[in-house]
Amino acid sequence: MILKAGDYKYKKYNCKYLVVGTGAGGSVAGTLLSEKGLDVIFMEEGSYFPTSSFTNKVGDMTAKLYRNRGISPLIGKPLVALAEGRCVGGGTVINGEGLFRTPKWILEEWRKKHGLEGYSFSNLERHFEIIEKNLNVEAKSISNEKSTNLDSKKLIEGAKNLNWRTEFVPRAAKNCQYINSCSIGCPSGAKQSTLVSYLPRALKAGAKIFSDCRVIKVNHSKGLAYSVIAEINKEGKKQKIEVQFDYLVLAGGAIQTPHLIKKSRMSKNAGKNLHFHMNVKVVGCLKDFVYAEKGTMFPVQIHEFENEDCYINTSAMKPSYLAMSLATHGNEVIDKAIKSSNKMVILNTTMRVKSKAHIYSKVGKNPLVWYKFDHSDLSRIKVNIKRMCQVLFEANAAEVYLPIKGMSLTSLQNLDGLIDKIKPGDIDISTVHMMASCPMGADPKKSVVDLNGNLRGMRNVLITDASILPTSIGQSPQETIMAMVHEVMRRHFER
């Protein structure tokens, strides 16, 4: 049963387990609980959009599926645009469907520095296998594709000329239709978001989903949470409901979870050390036709620089994305790019950075997120812009547009001189991965969540989302979140 705004007949509801959030973490936790025969309610701030409602219109779908149309600002210099999902299925509905096992060395770092015993690669491997089976994950070669993913083939060609290692991306998809709509809700249902994988299982097992329902406060007393107050926005009129529970599972994501915790005065340490990945894009106009819209978001990645936690791949391609990637350039550049869109390629580097953010929750209903730019990140950004330019020219680019106002190149000749002049405020940076705002750890002073996923100071509150990761990981965190949640739930059931 899925309730939408307008379906809420009562002011009070109750359940055994209340799961706040339906993304990668919440859906796994709620599904495992409901399949144990437990009474589960999911609460989701966003609306429910079935696969049949997804269209090819970027603006419309972004307004429906993303918080603040995908341009929530992270305050700092430069401003960073954060794209965050807000719908039933959360971020899994709008991500690139790349599922990566947590790098072994990251898990080792977590064990040594944060005391995460029992979360080693061998401990999590069984969970990775289950998740990959559930979501049909496969690293499929594109070598035999003749008319699809030509932009990624060009990426391979460029990387090969530079002797850089590439790998096919393990993707969660069944019968992909190559329509490059991963980031606006897959209209074919091929992408195995939680909307089409975990949540239907939970519903089948008897769970209920309350959509259009934003939890604004957790009521608690003496270390025991007992109910939440949620707001339903029905045609501009706000209605409040209360849901009582025995156990609360928070999975609203790395920004909303600590915000709710702070608003409800459950922990002072939540939201203090938010990690994020920076994404920087370079756009290339090739001499050949690549029809980048015919393909998938990123079937291939350059892994040559994985020891630096930097990964280069093609990005989502729609005319709107192409134009937005060039928003710092003049309108004449956008015109030119749109008219040649069949030859355009957008490359993106995802990188782990030292800059950290902080969540401020004292004023208003929404969190304010600001960050301090760590200047050591500037050189990493510059190096990766240079790498993207190199690979594009090796792939036969005629012109390359940098993520800096008015900066473009027709050869690599002047690149070093141009890059040297770049200041942090000049660069167009975005992010889609936020983590570690309620880190798990053995030390109560340095962590918000204990090794079993329990919020410290509370006896019946679990956290099961990206916020419990002790640090960022460099890659898309979906599989890491899911594996951590599988382990947290295993421990919970054991007790």
Partner 1 sequence: MWLGVIKTITLHHLNEIDVYQENKSQYLDIENDVYIFVVEGIQNLPIFYSLPLKVYSSLLGVFLFKKGNLSKLYKIKIPFFGVLNKLIKSLILLKLFDEFSISDINKDNLIQEQ
Contacts with partner 1 by CB under 8 A lie at: 57-60, 62-63, 68-73, 79, 81, 289, 318-320, 322-324, 327-328, 330-332, 334-335, 338-343, 363-366, 368
Between 177 and 342, CB nearer to partner 1: 342
Q: Take residue 380 and report the two structure tokens written for it.
A: 């990493």
Tell the smallest beta-carbon distance from residue 59 to partner 1 (Å): 4
Which of residues 219 and 331 has its CB atom nearest to partner 1 in the complex? 331
Q: Which is nearer to partner 1, 57 or 240 (CB)?
A: 57
What is the nearest approach in angstroms of partner 1 to the Cβ of residue 289? 6
Quickly tell me which residue has 């520095």 as its tokens: 113
Pick from 97, 105, 122, 100: which is nearest to 167 by CA?
100
Assigned token pair, 84: 């965050």
How far is it, in rounded angstroms, from Cα 186 to Cα 192?
A: 9
Helices (H), 236-372: 256-263, 319-325, 331-339
Nearer to partner 1, 125 or 288 (CB): 288
Smallest gap from Cβ 75 to partner 1, in A, equals 9
- CA–CA separation, 344 vs 308, rounded Å? 28
Among residues 105 and 289, whose Cβ is nearest to partner 1? Answer: 289
Query: 468-477: b or e for each residue (b if 16 or more CB lie within 10 Å)?
Result: bbbbbbbbbb
> Closest approach of Cβ 68 to partner 1, in Å?
6
CB of 291 to partner 1, least distance (A): 10
Query: Which residues lie closer than 8 Å to 323 by C-beta, 6 or more apart?
Result: 334, 337, 338
- What the block records as the tokens of 41 is 């309610």
Place of tokens 């050949």: 288
The single-letter DSSP state of residue 117 is: T
Contact status, residue 476 vs residue 100, Cβ threshold 8 Å: yes
State the Cα–Cα distance between residues 321 and 318, nearest whole angstrom: 5
Residue (74 or 261) nearer to partner 1, CB: 74
Least distance (Å) between residue 366 CB and partner 1: 4
CA distances (Å), 251 to each of 342, 424, 463, in order? Answer: 40, 33, 6
| Structural contact between residues 466 and 450, judged by C-beta atoms closer than 8 angstroms | no
What would the two tokens of residue 86 be?
Answer: 């807000």
Residue (222 or 363) nearer to partner 1, CB:
363
CA atoms within 13 A on the CB side of 118: 14
Q: How far is the CB of 375 from partner 1 (least distance, A)?
A: 21
Of 279, 415, 402, 400, the residue nearest 344 (C-alpha): 400
Closest approach of Cβ 13 to partner 1, in Å? 27
* C-beta closer to partner 1: residue 37 or 425: 425
Q: State how beta strands 429-431 and 247-250 pair.
A: unpaired
Closest distance of CB 98 from partner 1, Å: 23
CA dihedral sign, ordered 279, 282, 283, 289 = negative
Q: How far is the CB of 319 from partner 1 (least distance, A)?
A: 4
Three-class DSSP category at 91 = helix
For partner 1, give the closer residue by CB, 71 or 378: 71
How far apart CA 333 and CA 340 sit, in angstroms, is 11
Taking the complex as a whole, the smallest distance from the CB of residue 97 to partner 1 amounts, in Å, to 22
The least distance separating partner 1 from the CB of residue 327, rounded to whole angstroms, comes to: 5
Distance of closest approach, residue 331 Cβ to partner 1, in angstroms? 4
Q: Which is closer to partner 1, CB of 1 or CB of 327?
A: 327
SS3 143: coil
Tokens of 462: 């679990």
CB-wise, 127 or 318, nearer to partner 1? Answer: 318
Chain position carrying tokens 């928070």: 250
Residue 137: strand pairing partners? 172
* 200 vs 425 by CB, closer to partner 1: 425
> In this structure, what is the dihedral angle of CA atoms 136, 140, 145, 149, given to the nearest 10 degrees?
90
Please identify, using beta-carbon distances, which residue of 168 and 370 lies nearer to partner 1.
Answer: 370
CB atoms within 10 A of CB 486: 20
